[in-house]
Chains A and B, each alone.
Chain A
Amino acid sequence: MHVQAEELPMVRKTNKGTKIKPDKATIAFNVIGYTLLTAISIVCLIPFWLIVAGSFTDEMEIIAEGFKLFPNTISFEAYKSVFATPEQIYRAYGVTIGVTVAGSVLGLLLTSMAGYVLSRKDFIYRNSLSFFIYFTTLFSGGLIPWYIMMTKYLGLKDSYWALILPPLVSAWNIILMRNFMKSIPDSVIESAKIDGAGDFLIYRKIILPLSTPGLATIGLFLALGYWNDWFNANVFITSDHKYPLQFLLYKILSSAAVLRTQTGAYLAANVVPPTETLKMAVAVVATGPIILLYPFVQKYFVKGLTIGAVKG
C-alpha cells in the first residue's frame, strides 16, 4: 500500500490528438469493460431497488404472490403505517443521531490528540507507545472477557455509554491520524515553540487547522461506524426506548418486535395490516440519510482509503 494521498485522477490520458481508428482489441476491451461494469453496478443497486419496490407494494399482493421486482400497484400503506405512530422511529433516530454525534466528536478529539503526540519527533516514547496501541490489533482477549469487562466491572449494561465507548478510538484511526500529521513540516512547530507556545496551543491553533482533511476522513469513518452499529445495542441494550435505529430495524426484521402501529384500526376495517411491507418501509426510512449524504461525503472516504503506507 504505497499510494500517495492525492485526488485520484479518474481518467488516464488517452491519445485524443491522434486520430487513429481504434484497433479490434481496443473495441473488444471497451465492449467487455462497459458491459461488465454496468452489470456490477446494477447488481450493487438491485437489492436496494427491491427494498424500495417492496415498501411500495400492497400487502395483499405480497401475501398472494410474494415480493417482486415491479409491483402491480403502488401502495403507500406501509409508510402511512410507519408515520401514523412515528414515536418509536423518531426515538431511535434520536438515539442514533445523539450517539453518532457524541461518539464522533469525542472519538475525533482523542484520536487527534493521540495522533499529534505520536507524530511529535521530540517525544521519545512515540515508538513504544505506538506499538502499545498497535499491539491491540494483533492480539485480543476475545468477545467474552471484553463483554464481562463492560458489564460486570464497568456496569454499562443498558447504558448509552455502551454504544458510545466501544468504537470510540481504534488503533487504525490513530495510526492514520499520526501519518497525516507527520506530513506537517517540523519547522512550523519549532517556530511556534520559539514564540513560547505550549504543546496544547500548538495542537489547537496550528496542527488541527492544518489537518482538516484527515479529521474529515476519520470523522466520517467514525460517524458511519456509529450510524450502522447494531451489535453493541444487541449485546448491551435491554430497554427498547434506548434502541438505536439499526437495532430497531433488526428487531422489526426478525419479528421479535412489532412496530407499535394501530393494528386495531386495520382489524376493524377488515384490511390486512402491512407487516411484510412495513419491514421494507422501515429499512428505507433507516437508510435514507446515508443515501442522501453519500454523494457529498464519498470523496472523503476515497481519500481516506488511498492514504499512504501504514506502519506500526
Chain B
Amino acid sequence: MSEKRSFLKELNKNRTLFLMIAPTLLFFIIFSYIPMIGVYYAFTNFDFEGGLFGSEFVGFKNFEFLYKSGILWNLTKNTVLYNLAFLIIGNIMQIISAIFLAQLASKWFKKTAQSLMFLPYFLSWVLVGAFVFNMFSDLGVVNTLLKQIGLQPYDFYLNAAPWKYIIVFFNVWKGIGYGTIIYLAAIMGISDELYEAAKIDGANIFQQIRSITLPLLKPTFILLILFSLGGILKGQFDLFYQIIGNNGLLYDATDIIDTYVFRSLTVNFDIGMGTAAGLYQSFFGFVLIMTVNYIIKKTREEYALF
C-alpha cells in the first residue's frame, strides 16, 4: 500500500518527466511487448478467422515438425555458419585495415581510404542487389569477362556453390568501414609512449604491432565477438533476400531462419510454423546473450552489458 502511495506521489511530483517518456514507453509496449504474447501462435494451428486465441492449440507440434523434417537443423547450420564467417573474416579485415590506417604517414591517403571504405555502409541493400544483378546475371560483368577470355559463361542462378562466397563477400564489404573506425578508435587510445619505448628497444614496426597493438586490441576484439555471439541466430535478412530473393534452387545453401520466417508469412502463409521458427531464434538468442553476459560479469565486470 505504502509503495503504491509513494509511486503516485512520485508520479505527481515528476508528471512532466513521465509525460515526456510516455510516448516511447507506449511505443515499446505496442511494438515489442504485446507482440511477445503473440509467440502463442507458435503453439497453434493458426487460422485467420480465429485470431490469437481462436486457433486450435497443438502444443509443440510445429516445433516437432521443424525438427523432424530437418528444416530446423539446416536453417540453424546455415545461420550460424554464415554468421561465424561474417564475424571472423569481417573482424580480421577490419583489424588489418585499422592497423595500417593508424600507422601510414600520408594524411590525404588515409582520409580518402577511410571515406571510400565507409561508403558501402551508406548504400541500401537494394542497391547491393543491383550490383549482384550487374555482376552475376547472364549478361553480367563476370560472364562478359569469361567470354572475353574464351571460356564458357557460367549460370550463377542454377548453381548454389558460388553464392556462399558472394554473400560473405558483400557482408564484409558493407561492414568493413564501420568496423575499421571502431578498431581505429581503440588503436588511437593506445599511448604513444609504449611505441616510443619499443622503438628505443630497437623493435621494428612489425614487432611493435605484434607486441603492442595486437595485445591491446584483444579485449575490444573479444568483446565484439562475444556480444555478436548473442546474435548468432539472427541473420542479415536484407542481405540474403536482396541477393538470393525467391530462388528456391539456392535455398539449401542460403536459407537462414529469417528468410524462412519471412517466407512462412508471405509465401506459404504458415503462421504457426513461422512463429515457431522465430520463437526458437529469439529464445536461444536470449539464452546465449544471458550466458555470454554472465561469463563477462564473472571475468571482467566493467564490460558487462547489465
Q: A residues near B, CB below 8 A?
A: 1-4, 8-14, 23-26, 28-30, 32-34, 36-38, 40-41, 43-45, 47-48, 50-51, 54, 62-63, 65-69, 110-111, 113-114, 116-118, 120, 123-125, 129, 131-134, 136, 138-149, 152, 154, 165-166, 168-169, 171, 174, 198-200, 203, 224, 227-231, 235, 246-247, 249-250, 253-254, 276, 279-280, 283, 286-287, 290-291, 294-295, 298, 301-302, 305-306, 311-312
Q: A43-B173, A147-B265, A249-B130 are in contact. Are A203 and B20 (CB under 8 A)?
A: yes
Interchain CB contact under 8 A, B261 and A143: yes
B-side contacts of A302, CB under 8 Å: 118, 181
Asked if B41 is an interface residue, CB under 8 A from chain A, the answer is: yes
Alpha-carbon separation in the docked complex, A146 to B268 (Å) = 18
Interchain CB contact under 8 A, A10 and B111: yes
- Candidates B97, B110, B181, B278; contact of A305 at CB < 8 Å: B181
Asked if B151 is an interface residue, CB under 8 A from chain A, the answer is: no
B-side contacts of A154, CB under 8 Å: 30
B-side contacts of A142, CB under 8 Å: 35, 38-39, 261, 274-275, 278-279, 281-282
19 further A-B contacts with Cβ under 8 Å, apart from A29-B205, A301-B121, are A34-B104, A37-B100, A37-B104, A37-B113, A44-B116, A44-B119, A47-B131, A51-B130, A110-B23, A138-B286, A140-B36, A141-B35, A144-B274, A145-B38, A199-B20, A228-B123, A247-B126, A253-B133, A279-B130
Alpha-carbon separation in the docked complex, A171 to B31 (Å) = 12
Q: A36-B96, A199-B16 are in contact. Are A66 and B141 (CB under 8 A)?
A: yes
Asked if B59 is an interface residue, CB under 8 A from chain A, the answer is: no
Alpha-carbon separation in the docked complex, A173 to B211 (Å) = 36
Interchain CB contact under 8 A, A41 and B103: no
Give 21 CB contacts A-B under 8 Å: A1-B224, A2-B189, A4-B189, A9-B188, A12-B102, A37-B101, A44-B120, A44-B177, A67-B135, A110-B27, A113-B24, A131-B306, A133-B28, A144-B264, A199-B20, A203-B20, A228-B126, A230-B238, A250-B242, A253-B129, A280-B130
Q: A145-B41, A169-B27 are in contact. Are A25 and B14 (CB under 8 A)?
A: no
A-side contacts of B112, CB under 8 Å: 41
Interchain CB contact under 8 A, B133 and A279: yes
- Candidates A1, A138, A231; contact of B289 at CB < 8 Å: A138
Interchain CB contact under 8 A, B173 and A141: no
Q: Mark B25-59, 1 if CB is under 8 A from A, else 0.
A: 10110111111111101000000000100000000
B-side contacts of A311, CB under 8 Å: 305-306
Alpha-carbon separation in the docked complex, A229 to B30 (Å) = 21
| Nearest-neighbor residue (CB-CB) of B15 within chain A | A199
Asked if B69 is an interface residue, CB under 8 A from chain A, the answer is: no
| Nearest-neighbor residue (CB-CB) of B264 within chain A | A144
Interchain CB contact under 8 A, A129 and B25: yes
A165 to chain B, nearest CB (A): 7
Which residues of B (233-290) have their CB < 8 Å from a CB of A? 237-238, 242, 245, 258, 261-262, 264-266, 271, 274-275, 278-279, 281-283, 285-286, 289-290
Q: Mark B127-150, 1 if CB is under 8 A from A, else 0.
A: 111110111001111011001000
A273 to chain B, nearest CB (A): 15
Interchain CB contact under 8 A, B104 and A47: no
- Candidates B31, B176, B245, B281; contact of A40 at CB < 8 Å: B176
Interchain CB contact under 8 A, B21 and A118: yes
Interchain CB contact under 8 A, A34 and B109: yes
Q: B residues near A, CB below 8 A?
A: 10, 14, 16-18, 20-21, 23-25, 27-28, 30-39, 41, 51, 93, 96-97, 100-107, 109-131, 133-135, 138-141, 143-144, 147, 173, 176-178, 181-182, 184-186, 188-189, 192, 204-207, 220, 223-224, 237-238, 242, 245, 258, 261-262, 264-266, 271, 274-275, 278-279, 281-283, 285-286, 289-290, 305-306
Alpha-carbon separation in the docked complex, A168 to B122 (Å) = 19
Interchain CB contact under 8 A, A67 and B123: no
Interchain CB contact under 8 A, B104 and A33: yes
Alpha-carbon separation in the docked complex, A149 to B34 (Å) = 8
Which 9 interchain pairs have the tightest Cβ spacing?
A145-B38, A142-B278, A25-B204, A228-B124, A141-B35, A66-B144, A33-B100, A47-B131, A199-B16
Q: A66-B143, A144-B271 are in contact. Are A149 and B35 (CB under 8 A)?
A: yes
| Nearest-neighbor residue (CB-CB) of B273 within chain A | A144
- Candidates A3, A114, A123, A129; contact of B189 at CB < 8 Å: A3
B-side contacts of A312, CB under 8 Å: 305-306
| Nearest-neighbor residue (CB-CB) of A251 within chain B | B126
A-side contacts of B51, CB under 8 Å: 152
Q: A129-B25, A199-B16, A246-B124 are in contact. Are A145 and B116 (CB under 8 A)?
A: no
B246 to chain A, nearest CB (A): 9
B-side contacts of A227, CB under 8 Å: 124
Alpha-carbon separation in the docked complex, A47 to B131 (Å) = 6
Interchain CB contact under 8 A, A198 and B16: yes
| Nearest-neighbor residue (CB-CB) of B109 within chain A | A34
B-side contacts of A146, CB under 8 Å: 31, 35, 38
Interchain CB contact under 8 A, B28 and A50: no
Alpha-carbon separation in the docked complex, A229 to B21 (Å) = 26
Interchain CB contact under 8 A, B124 and A231: no
Interchain CB contact under 8 A, B139 and A230: no
| Nearest-neighbor residue (CB-CB) of A134 within chain B | B306
